[in-house]
Amino acid sequence: MRKLFMILAVAVALVSCGSDDSPKQTTGQKAEKKKVVVPAFDGTAAYGYVKQQCDFGPRVPGAKAHQDCAAWLVATLRDFCDTVYEQDFMTRIYNGEGVEGKNIIGSFNPNAKKRIIVAAHWDSRPFADNDPDESNWHKPIDGANDGASGCGIMLEMAKVMKANRIDDHLGVDLIFFDLEDYGTPKWDETTQHDDMAWGLGSQYWSKKPHISGYKAYFGILLDMVGASNPRFPKEYYSQRDAAWVLNKVWRTAREMGYTQSFINEIGDPINDDHIYMTHYAGIPTIDIIHLNGDDDRTSCFYPYWHTVNDNIDQIDAKTLQMVGNVLMTVIYNE
Ligand code: AHN
Ligand code: ZN
């Protein structure tokens, strides 16, 4: 009897070990079916790209760090992509002040009709207005997770896609949006209608894409995709407006064993760049975004959101690896 109990206990332990987030042999399962090889994505290299962005300092519009980072992004993408577009524009921030922005697009197979977008914002927020310490509210943030994490993954994807060309029938556009995070600061909020103050770069691009008449099959927005043990429920608008894209990505993640992070439940509605891509540009786009559960909420976002602690210490190469693996698998299976 005791022996039987021991055997059962070991069996239970083995089964529960199998449900962690580590990549396993099952990674190539779907790929094998379609006979495509998904090239290896390097989470440590992606971490390096996140750190390089943070090392410029906060990429706040108007700051030298913002200009320097833009130049570095363009130069790095020119190394990896077939074509790089720079979209310079003028817009107005929440208080009516004019500001210059720059969206950057790195394209593979620019002539292919079927296209997939992966996007993130490369600017960082000028205000740490969710910091528990009010004396930090006027400080700009590093935005290691809020912004840089998605861009770091996209740069590593570009590196891998250069070395392992995607099929000619498919185009991929990596879009680095500016001015996502200049939304109305907490102390200036006057109305409930400040939604349009966020996502200024994506609003511009979605009305006036880098190529006139541009269309894509679908888009995936990355926002806060680099912290340890992330929680990615199905963001509400993504589910409402692009359920088939969401299901494709979450199914891929499930097949790879990532169910602890790519959670099969509906999350909060988030006003992010994907809204404009979906509704202005007509490209069904989902948001992979780290959202808190019901406990431990100062906001619905990841715990260090819009605080001075959103720095490189929050970034975990394992998370970048997981998200990179999922994206590469989705793309190479299209
Ligand atoms: C709102 O807070 C309404 N939207 C913010 C989306 C966001 C900000 N993502 C990252 N930073
Ligand atoms: Zn933000």
* Cβ atoms 154, 118 nearer than 8 A: yes
* 320 against 24, higher pLDDT: 320
Atom 2 in ligand 1: residue holding the nearest Cα:
271
* 302 against 2, higher pLDDT: 302
Q: State the DSSP H helix or E strand holding residue 122, giving kind and residue range, or none if neither.
A: none
Give per-residue pLDDT as tens, 217-276.
999 999 999 999 999 999 999 999 999 999 999 999 999 999 999 999 999 999 999 999
Atom 4 in ligand 1: residue holding the nearest Cα:
271
The Å distance, Cα 272 to ligand 1 centre, comes to 6
Q: What whole-number distance in Å separates Cα of residue 58 and Cα of residue 16?
A: 41
Q: What whole-number distance in Å separates Cα of residue 21 and Cα of residue 12?
A: 18
* DSSP state for residue 183 in the 8-state scheme: P
- Full-model pTM: 0.89
Report the percent of the chain where pLDDT is more than 90: 84
Atom 3 in ligand 1: residue holding the nearest Cα:
271
* DSSP state for residue 227 in the 8-state scheme: B
Pocket of ligand 1 (CB under 6 A): 146, 181, 183, 198, 223, 270-272
Would you state the structure tokens that stand for residue 62, as one six-digit string?
């108007």
Would you state the structure tokens that stand for residue 172, as one six-digit string?
């991929």
- pLDDT given at position 194: 84
Residue 26 resides in a domain: no
* Boundaries of domain holding 305: 34-332
The Å distance, Cα 147 to ligand 2 centre, comes to 7
Amino acid at 199: G
Residue 3 resides in a domain: no
Domain count, the chain: 1
Mean pLDDT along residues 186-214: 91
Residue 104 resides in a domain: yes
Residue 7 resides in a domain: no
Mean pLDDT along residues 169-175: 99
The Å distance, Cα 199 to ligand 1 centre, comes to 8
Give per-residue pLDDT as tens, 7-63.
444 444 444 433 344 444 455 555 456 679 999 999 999 999 999 999 999 999 999
The Å distance, Cα 152 to ligand 2 centre, comes to 16
User: In whole angstroms, what separates CA 283 from the centre of its chain?
Assistant: 17
- pLDDT given at position 193: 60
In angstroms, how far is the first alpha carbon of the chain from the final one?
53
Q: What whole-number distance in Å separates Cα of residue 261 and Cα of residue 233?
A: 8
Residue 22 resides in a domain: no
State the chain's mean pLDDT as an integer.
91
* Ligand 1 atom showing the smallest separation from residue 272 Cα: 6
* Ligand 1 atom showing the smallest separation from residue 199 Cα: 6
Residue 64 resides in a domain: yes
* 190 against 96, higher pLDDT: 96
| Residue among 197, 193, 195, 196 at smallest CA distance from 183 | 197
- pLDDT given at position 237: 98
- pLDDT given at position 9: 47
What are the residues whose beta carbons fall under 8 Å from the beta carbon of 59, sequence distance 6 or more? Answer: 53, 65, 66, 69, 122, 123, 124, 143, 147
Residue 6 has pLDDT above 50, yes or no: no
- Decide the pairing of beta strands 262-266 and 170-177: unpaired
Residue 118 belongs to domain with CATH number: 3.40.630.10
Residue 10 resides in a domain: no
Residue 11 resides in a domain: no
